[in-house]
DNA sequence: CAACAAACGAGAGCATTGCTCTTGCAATGA
DNA sequence: TCATTGCAAGAGCAATGCTCTCGTTTGTTG
């Protein structure tokens, strides 16, 4: 099925599809996802609006394609930042680098970030294709945490002594981490998994608050504040 | 200027304004802010679209009115939950109750929550009128924290020993808290203020992740998970 | 090579949106 | 009583997403 020798039409189709995506991406840098006009991107690529429907059945499908692209770009940026840390055993440094890269990408691509993590458009359910790229950042964060655990940093207490244990509620995440099949085949402790999810929520919350303007007047230097948050998140994980 | 005896026209205007707001509010329960159609709410109240412009100069002004109303409703719910805690000296219980009420309101009013804390509509800047009601929840949370401080729960370390101190970046919040003028006229320590802002970001992040579906597959019982998060946020504040 | 089918771009068209303008009616106040 | 003001209705404009049709081009098959 996958012919290497593509016909001219197939090549043209792939090129035009990419061209439309690129135009839509450019438009996204100037306006939010809700304002993305299919007719406008059609004009940008020199086509009539109805012609675009040959490539994307609807505006939502265009958004889905953009969604996947943006998720992958963010994931790649986060992973690259982690990979760039020289000392692979310094889990804290890796954590901070990955968190920072996430915020940096968000600040540089606010509308793409809004597309990924903003309030979803009504009636639009993200299809299956998006869930894998969507988890790249959190997966990498989990890998860093698990690497620290494998290196001997065992958390002291379990979740059982807490009045609100994470144990039953994060079972899905625990199983997902087991399925990841890292170097340590040991079960990830629920408390640590819950703490990691909590940290991820904090990262998202801090970035979104900054971008949506909810910290205006309270926080002056957002980068510095974020670094402080990320550092405390690591210590709060309860490792070592 | 503020006549108690209103003319029939003034009364009618107030009533119709409320009627429009109510209709818009109802529409918001079925669709997101971006999909709120001014013409549709006009139809709901039995008016022609142009007539609505006598009461709200633009769609954005309608959204602003809804914004203030929703902020106040959420703030009232959170404050009521805190006030309902019997033991006023149990700051942890008050914290948990306030956090829970915030989540409960969000779950019950997802579209209103999206209006408040979702990605903002492009080109729409929330006017001054909204900032006071917008801070009701975080103000109450700060009051609870400061009450605990006043009760003698002093945090052990300062932020200076941290590699990423909160100190300079949260000056605005520190001053805002001083202006609040609580029972304790003492300066709020930057570390504690930063921690409180961080906690508020986490609450927002956790609720938004739940509502926007970013925790599907990882968290099974959202209420239980949230309780665990809120409880850990309190201990992470570093009080007592 | 010829014939057929599929893909394609363009255009017209429909229903909808936010918003402006004009028109005529009704309530208000001197 | 009468001029002023507030108000609702309607038409209209520029957009939007999307559908349909109509020739034309491209690819495949007999």
What is the percent of chain B where pLDDT is above 70?
Answer: 91
Give yes or no for residue A1 having a pLDDT over 50. Answer: no
Same domain, yes or no: B208 and B163: yes
Please check whether residues A132 and A227 belong to one and the same domain: yes
A63 domain residue, yes or no = no
Contact A219 B198 (CB under 8 A): no
Query: Which comes out higher in pLDDT, residue B128 or A145?
Result: A145
Residue A217: CATH number of its domain: 1.10.357.10
Higher pLDDT, A147 or B6: A147
* A17 and A101 together in one domain: no
- Averaged pLDDT, A53-75: 96
Q: Scan residues 26-65 of chain A and list those with Cβ within 7 Å of strand D.
A: 36-40, 49-50, 53, 57-60
Are both A117 and A180 inside the same structural domain? yes
Do A52 and A141 lie in a common domain? no
Band (B31; pLDDT cuts 50, 70, 90) = confident
Q: For the segment A11-26, what is each residue's pLDDT rounded down to a tens digit?
A: 999 999 999 999 999 9
Q: Are residues A129 and A179 in the same domain?
A: yes
Instruction: Taking residues B157-165, report their average pLDDT.
Output: 71
Supply the range of the domain harboring residue A179.
71-236
Check residue B3 and give its pLDDT: 40
Whether residues A171 and A98 fall in one domain: yes
Looking at the structure, tell me whether residues A4 and A34 fall in a common domain. yes
Asked whether residue A202 is assigned to any structural domain, the reply reads yes
DSSP chain A: ---SS--HHHHHHHHHHHHHHHHHHHHHTTS-GGG--HHHHHHHTT--HHHHTTT-SSHHHHHHHHHHHHHHHHHHHHHHHHHT-S-TT-HHHHHHHHHHHHHHHHHH-HHHHHHHHSPPPTT----GGGHHHHTHHHHHHHHHHHHHHHTT---SS-GGGSSS-STTTTHHHHHHHHHH--S--SPPPHHHHHHHHHHHHHHHHHHHHHHHTTTTTT-S-HHHHHHHHHHHHHHHTT--
Residues 29-88 of A with CB under 7 A from strand C: 46-51, 54-55
Q: What would the two tokens of residue B156 be?
A: 């052990």
Q: Are residues B112 and B12 in the same domain?
A: no
Q: Judge whether B109 lies within some domain.
A: yes
Residues A125, A148 within the same domain: yes
Answer for A6: CB within 7 Å of strand C: no
Any domain includes A5:
yes
CA–CA min distance B53, chain A (Å): 23
Contact map slice: B 102-141 vs A, CB within 8 A:
114, 117-122, 126, 131, 134
Establish if A157 touches chain B: CB-CB under 8 angstroms.
Answer: no
Residue A62 belongs to a domain: no
Do residues B149 and B218 share a domain? yes
Task: Supply the pLDDT for residue B180.
Answer: 83
- pLDDT tens track for A76-90: 999 999 999 999 999
Cβ pair B122:A171 closer than 8 A: no
Nearest to A218 among B197, B212, B227 (CB): B197
Q: Do B16 and B132 fall into the same domain?
A: no
CATH number at residue B14: 1.10.10
User: Domain count of chain B?
Assistant: 2
Q: Which of B56, B84, B101 is the last residue of a domain?
A: B56
Which nucleotides of strand D come closer than 7 angstroms to any CB of the protein? 6-12, 15-21, 26-28
Q: Is the model's pLDDT at B158 over the cut of 70?
A: no
| Average pLDDT for A164-185 | 85
CB contact A209 to B (< 8 Å): yes
Q: Is residue A151 part of a domain?
A: yes
Asked if strand D contacts B12 at the CB level, meaning under 7 A, the answer is yes
Tell me, yes or no, if B168 comes closer than 8 A to chain A by beta carbon. Answer: yes
Nearest-Cα residue of chain B relative to residue A34? B34
């Amino acid at each position: 099925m996958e012919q290497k020798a593509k016909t001219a039409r197939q090549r043209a189709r792939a090129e035009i599809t990419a061209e439309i995506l690129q135009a839509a991406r450019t438009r996204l840098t100037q306006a939010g996802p809700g304002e993305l006009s299919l007719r406008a991107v059609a004009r940008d690529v020199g086509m009539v609006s109805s012609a675009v429907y040959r490539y994307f059945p609807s505006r939502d499908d265009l958004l889905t394609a953009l969604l996947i692209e943006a998720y992958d770009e963010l994931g790649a940026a986060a992973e690259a930042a982690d990979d760039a840390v020289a000392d692979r055993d310094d889990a804290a440094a890796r954590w901070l680098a990955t968190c920072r890269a996430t915020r940096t990408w968000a600040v540089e691509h606010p509308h793409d970030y809004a597309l990924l993590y903003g309030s979803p458009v009504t009636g639009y359910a993200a299809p299956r294709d998006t869930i894998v790229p969507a988890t790249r950042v959190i997966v990498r964060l989990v890998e860093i945490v698990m690497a620290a655990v494998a290196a001997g940093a065992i958390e002291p207490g379990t979740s059982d002594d807490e009045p609100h244990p994470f144990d039953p509620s994060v079972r899905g995440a625990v199983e997902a981490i087991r399925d990841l099949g890292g170097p340590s085949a040991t079960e990830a402790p629920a408390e640590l998994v819950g703490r990691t999810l909590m940290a991820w929520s904090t990262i998202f919350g801090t970035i979104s608050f900054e971008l949506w303007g909810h910290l205006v007047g309270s926080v002056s230097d957002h980068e510095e504040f974020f670094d402080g948050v990320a550092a405390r998140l690591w210590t709060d994980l309860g490792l070592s």
